[in-house]
Amino acid sequence: MSEMTSARLGLPYLAAGQAQKEVAHNEALALIDAACMAAVESMDLAVPPGDAAPGQCWIVAAGGTGGWAGRDGAIACMTDGGWRFLPPVAGMRLWVGDRGLWASWAGGWTAGIEPVAEIHVGGVQVVAARQAAVAVPGGGATVDEEARAAIAALIGRLQAHGLIG
């Protein structure tokens, strides 16, 4: 009988009449433990650390070797029973401890870049889509008029970007 697993995280299901149900159940709990409130130590190791403690996790870097061979991009978590691997899914987000950044999965891991359309603080939009650059003033005989026009254009752009009211 083939092993049935959940569609997103590959968690093992219990089968009717299955012997040692606790093994499959405990495996699923170990993977859920790794996925919930996910955080990893680093995303730069391709070799399993020799001093990993249960509960510590890493993103397997490209070219994984040893116990991580063939697991590039997976979340490797040390458990009392050894390494468990969680496949990333689109939209997965976790904290990378040694970088102090969030990383997200969209076909590959990206740290420190958050794709957003706009940013709101306290219900007020503070950043919007990028607009055209403000032209650098040049020429002219009266500096005061140029300076006023440049400042007005700068204020207008900051307002359009939502950075000032």
Please list the pLDDT of the chain residue by residue as tens digits (165 residues): 456 777 666 667 777 777 777 777 777 777 776 667 789 999 999 999 999 998 899 999 999 999 999 999 999 999 888 998 988 989 899 999 999 999 999 999 999 988 888 888 888 887 877 777 777 666 666 678 878 888 889 888 888 887 777
Shared domain for 49 and 106, answered yes or no, is yes
Shared domain for 100 and 61, answered yes or no, is yes
Q: How far apart are the first and last CA of the chain?
A: 65
Cα–Cα nearest to 130, from 118, 115, 122, 112: 118
Going by the DSSP 8-state scheme, the letter that residue 101 receives in this structure is E
Shared domain for 124 and 95, answered yes or no, is no
Residue 57 lies in a domain: yes
- Its pTM surpasses 0.75: no
Domain count, the chain: 2
Q: What range does the domain containing 153 cover?
A: 119-160
